[in-house]
Amino acid sequence: MMILLKVSLLLLLLCCAVQLTSAGPQAVESANGVCCFEETRSRIPLRRLKSYYWTNSSCPYTYIVFVTTKKIHRCVKPDNKWVQLYINHIDKKSASDSPK
């Protein structure tokens, strides 16, 4: 009885592994992706920003997500002028911080 249970669990794990690998990069992207349904209306202090990323392509709305030094994620619309300035600032800071 115990061997049957172990074999069944092993088969189940094997099937799950095959399913995950056959799903491809889109499955990984959607599993790691974040969708925003509401934006942060106020500006985030520039000194608190650590990084940013775009929402997943499968999301209904396109947002930029700013990550703060306290690991708080804030959704903002990419067409705001201040958002573009913040992105440029983060990109420049990342470029200067990276080893040459």
pLDDT at position 8 = 56
Q: Which residue ranges make up each domain of the chain? A: 35-100
CB 91 within 8 A of CB 51: no
pLDDT digits (tens, 9 = 90+) for 22-41: 444 334 344 456 799 999 88
pTM of the model: 0.62
pLDDT higher than 70, residue 56: yes
Using the predicted structure, report yes or no on whether residue 86 has a pLDDT greater than 70.
yes
Is residue 95's pLDDT more than 60? Answer: yes
Write out the two tokens for 78: 């990419």
Reading the block at residue 44, the tokens are: 């985030």
Q: Report residue 21's pLDDT band, with 50, 70 and 90 as the boundaries.
A: very low
Fold of 35-100: OB fold (Dihydrolipoamide Acetyltransferase, E2P) (2.40.50)
d(CA 88, CA 81): 11
Q: Which residue has the higher pLDDT, 88 or 29?
A: 88
